């Protein structure tokens, strides 16, 4: 009985030649490998879609932030000061957002690296300019950004 194997199919045993058993086993392996690769491709495509959604969201946030900076005559950098009165007065985008009570802009500026400790010409930081009820939320948001080290929350 050399060259023959027994294969169990549905509770019954069937005697097959060794070549058939190998080809059947190889076929099963090929099917499993194809299924694994298809699953891997689906997962990669889903990850790419997720990343493209995240990327699109970040790009929209950048556009909003750049629009905010441009409308207020700031340079397109979150920590660049705006100088007035022959350079004697300076203010920062984060402080401007706080003064205007644009909390959405405050969050965007923090997400993209605005430094809340920067002080204007009068020695006030953005934190000093905000209402008391907002300060706690602001400081928690900034701590979370510093802890995660990411621009997107």
**Beta strands of the chain (E only): which ranges?**
4-9, 12-17, 82-84, 89-91
Quote the CA–CA distance of 150 and 58 in Å, as a whole number: 11
Is the pLDDT at 152 greater than 50? The verdict is no
19 forms beta bridges with none
Query: Which structural domain, as residue segments, surrounds residue 139?
Result: 39-148
Query: Higher confidence at residue 27 or residue 83?
Result: 83
Quote the CA–CA distance of 22 and 84 in Å, as a whole number: 83
4 forms beta bridges with 17
In a domain, 135, yes or no: yes
In a domain, 115, yes or no: yes
Quote the CA–CA distance of 135 and 102 in Å, as a whole number: 14
Maximum average pLDDT range among 5-14, 69-78, 119-128 = 69-78
Is the pLDDT at 23 greater than 70? The verdict is no
In a domain, 143, yes or no: yes
The total number of structural domains in the chain stands at 1
In a domain, 19, yes or no: no
In a domain, 47, yes or no: yes
Does this model's pTM top 0.75? My answer is no
In a domain, 57, yes or no: yes
pLDDT confidence band for 146 (50 / 70 / 90): low
91-100 residue pLDDT tens: 899 989 988 8
Is the pLDDT at 82 greater than 80? The verdict is yes
By C-alpha distance, which of 121, 70, 127, 58 is closest to 95?
Answer: 127
In a domain, 49, yes or no: yes
In a domain, 108, yes or no: yes
Query: Higher confidence at residue 54 or residue 151?
Result: 54
Say which CATH number the domain at 84 has.
1.25.40
Query: Higher confidence at residue 86 or residue 112?
Result: 112
């Amino acid at each position: 009985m050399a060259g023959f194997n027994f294969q169990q199919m549905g509770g019954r045993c069937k005697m097959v030649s060794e070549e058939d058993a190998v080809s059947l086993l190889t076929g099963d392996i090929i099917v499993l490998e194809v299924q694994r690769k298809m699953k891997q491709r689906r997962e990669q495509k889903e990850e790419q879609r997720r990343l493209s959604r995240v990327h699109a969201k970040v790009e929209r946030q950048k556009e909003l932030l750049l629009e905010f900076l441009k409308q207020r005559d700031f340079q397109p950098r979150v920590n660049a000061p705006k100088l007035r009165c022959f350079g004697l007065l300076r203010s920062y985008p984060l402080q401007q957002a706080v003064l205007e009570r644009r909390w959405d802009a405050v969050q965007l500026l923090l997400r993209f690296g605005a430094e809340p400790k920067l002080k204007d010409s009068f020695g006030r930081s953005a934190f000093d300019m905000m209402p008391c009820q907002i300060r706690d939320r602001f400081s928690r948001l900034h701590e979370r950004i510093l802890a995660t080290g990411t621009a997107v929350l």
